[in-house]
């Protein structure tokens, strides 16, 4: 049996940093990454046979937990029929119909293989539909690693974006404007300056890559109004929140509080693939008519709508659409975060918590952050100590301060109790 350390040594010789997605390298928290051998319900097992309560869930897709019988059966059947055809299948239609059935703002969808691909394509679609070039994104919101989105803001209103990744030429991001999250004044200034140039604004309703930071209702309402007024399209990136925080996504929660609220374009991933590489973007028929083969905006993918991936996603959506699913998931998630808060309070450790559906976050701070600057100001050193104490106790939170957490339907009372018992000891140790 290889150890995690041995596997990491091997991996670093053949894979940059030893991982295929950077946060997995544990560089933010230190230590050796855990190489996972298998998953069982709410648990994962590493190469050394150690078991952990899993609060990563493949960064969101595993809303039913690992190895759900109905999903496993659907995937095995699909795999026996064929891995890929490069031609349409009935299941692609069924998955599209299922997404549309639960998301009223979407009349048609295009299936792709990743959230990055979906966000990139949604922006291209918005530019084609409006005939404009400029886009607005918000600091701390992550929409994949497409060149035009790898930018950061300077202080105040950024006239032009600046790349945050080598290999992204400045001219590629010259039409990207980056604003502070939840800053209404900056939003108004940007629309006043660029309103006639704006193709779209892309936003996460709950930013999950600065841990868990909500878009305020007042900010979302004013953003929606400004987009209408200036003819820009509002793209809601629900790669993380879609079907996880509610059956209709986060947009359904805003619609309950804001009459008539709908985004123009929606992006989905994670849950709709059930753990397989699958994502989608959708909009009205009028907007989607801009896509090839109907319109001039080109988009294609060899493995888009893959028959095994669609089987996995469709089986997952059927399960989570059952009555009471999200209510029960939300209650279990709140039990977790409320329990963490209570244990921290008992130890005299500042901790702010929040959750929605099966998505949650916690911060070593006195209050919940509202933007990127306040999110990065929390106690990083204390988080790192807490992370390793929990990992040693068999609880796997994200190995980075700025990542949200995920609860699945497989997390039961035993898993929550195990987590809170470990947290009690970890918080006590943090006092020293």
Max mean pLDDT range (173-177, 259-263, 372-376):
259-263
pLDDT tens for each residue of 76-105: 999 999 999 999 999 999 999 999 999 999
| Range 403-429 average pLDDT | 98
Tell me the pLDDT tens digit for each residue of 400-411.
999 999 999 999
Out of 54, 180, 237, 371, which one is annotated catalytic? 237
> Are β-strands 43-46 and 405-406 bridged in parallel, bridged antiparallel, or unpaired?
unpaired
Strand-pair partners of 352:
363
Domains of the chain, by residue range, sit at 4-67+323-430, 69-320
- Among 29-38, 229-238, 337-346, 372-381, the minimum mean pLDDT is found in 372-381
Q: Which CATH number fits domain 69-320: 3.20.170.30, 3.20.20.70, 3.40.640.10, 3.40.140.10?
A: 3.40.640.10
pLDDT of 152 reads 61
DSSP secondary structure letters along 258-310: STT---SEEEE-GGGGBTBS-EEEEE-HHHHTTBTTTSSB----TTTT-HHHH
286-299 exposure pattern, b = at least 16 Cβ within 10 A, e = fewer = ebbebbeeeeebeb
pLDDT surpassing 70 at residue 338: yes
Could you tell me if 56 and 65 are in contact, meaning their C-beta atoms sit under 8 angstroms apart? no
Active site residue 270: yes
| Calpha distance 168→151 (Å, rounded) | 9
Angle formed by the axes of helices 413-430 and 380-392, to 10°? 130
pTM, two decimals, is 0.95
Check if 142 is active-site.
yes
Tokens representing residue 12 in the block: 């670093």
Query: Per-residue pLDDT for 159 more than 60?
Result: no
- pLDDT tens by residue, 112-133: 999 999 999 999 999 999 999 9
Which secondary-structure segment (H or E) carries 109? strand 108-112
8 Å CB contact between 313 and 280 = no
Collapsed DSSP state (helix, strand, coil) of residue 198: strand
Residue tagged active-site, from 52, 55, 142, 402: 142
Q: Give the pLDDT confidence score for residue 147 in this predicted structure.
A: 86
The pLDDT-based confidence of 160 (bands split at 50, 70, 90) is very low
Active-site residue, 298 included:
no
Phi-psi category of residue 305: left, alpha or beta, with phi > 0 → left and psi -120 to 50 → alpha: left
Q: Specify the CATH class of 4-67+323-430 in words.
A: alpha beta
Local confidence band at 368 (pLDDT 50, 70, 90 cut-offs): very high
Quote the percentage of the chain above a pLDDT of 90: 91
Which one of 52, 54, 254, 270 is the catalytic residue?
270
pLDDT of residue 195: 93
Distances (CA, A) of 297 to 29, 129, 293: 42, 9, 8
Helix (H) or strand (E) holding 200, with range, is strand 198-203
Q: Are 84 and 307 in contact (CB under 8 A)?
A: yes
- Tell me how far apart the alpha carbons of residues 362 and 364 are, in angstroms, rounded to a whole number: 7
pLDDT tens per residue across span 196-221: 999 999 999 999 999 999 999 999 99
Residue 154, strand partner residues: none
């Amino acid at each position: 049996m290889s150890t995690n350390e041995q596997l990491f040594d091997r991996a670093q010789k053949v894979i940059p940093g030893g991982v295929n997605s950077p946060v997995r390298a544990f560089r933010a928290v230190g230590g050796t990454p855990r190489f996972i051998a298998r998953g069982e319900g709410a648990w994962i097992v590493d190469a050394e046979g150690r078991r952990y309560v899993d609060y990563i869930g493949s960064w969101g897709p595993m809303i039913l937990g690992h190895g759900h019988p109905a999903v496993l059966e659907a995937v095995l059947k699909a795999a026996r029929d064929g891995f890929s055809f490069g031609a349409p299948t009935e299941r692609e239609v069924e998955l599209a119909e299922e997404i549309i059935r639960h998301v009223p703002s979407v009349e048609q969808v295009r299936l792709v293989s990743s959230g990055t691909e979906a966000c990139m394509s949604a922006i291209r679609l918005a530019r084609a539909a409006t005939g404009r070039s400029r886009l607005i994104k918000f600091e701390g919101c992550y929409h994949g690693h497409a060149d035009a989105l790898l930018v950061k803001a300077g202080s105040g209103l950024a006239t032009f974006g600046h790349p945050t990744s080598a290999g992204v030429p400045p001219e590629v991001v010259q039409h990207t404007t980056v604003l502070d999250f939840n800053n209404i004044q900056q939003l108004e200034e940007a629309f006043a300056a660029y309103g006639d140039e704006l193709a779209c604004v892309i936003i996460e309703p709950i930013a999950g890559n600065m841990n868990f930071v909500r878009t305020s209702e007042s900010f979302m309402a004013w953003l929606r109004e400004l987009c209408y007024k200036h003819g820009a399209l509002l793209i809601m990136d629900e790669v993380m929140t879609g079907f996880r925080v509610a059956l209709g996504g986060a947009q359904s929660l805003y619609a309950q509080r804001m009459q008539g609220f709908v985004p123009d374009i929606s992006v989905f991933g994670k849950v709709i693939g059930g753990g397989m590489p699958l994502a989608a973007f959708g909009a009205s028929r009028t907007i989607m008519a801009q896509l090839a083969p109907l319109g001039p905006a080109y988009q294609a993918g060899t493995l888009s709508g893959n028959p095994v991936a669609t089987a996995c996603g469709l089986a997952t959506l059927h399960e989570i659409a059952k009555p009471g699913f999200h209510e029960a998931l939300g209650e279990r998630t709140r039990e977790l975060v409320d329990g963490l808060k209570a244990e921290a309070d008992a130890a005299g450790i500042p901790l702010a918590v929040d959750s929605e559906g099966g998505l949650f976050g916690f911060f070593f701070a006195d209050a919940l952050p509202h933007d990127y600057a306040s999110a990065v100001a929390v106690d990083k050193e204390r988080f790192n100590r807490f992370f390793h104490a929990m990992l040693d106790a068999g609880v796997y939170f994200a190995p980075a301060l700025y990542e949200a957490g995920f609860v699945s339907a497989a997390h039961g009372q035993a898993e929550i109790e195990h987590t809170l018992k470990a947290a009690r000891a970890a918080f006590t140790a943090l006092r020293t």
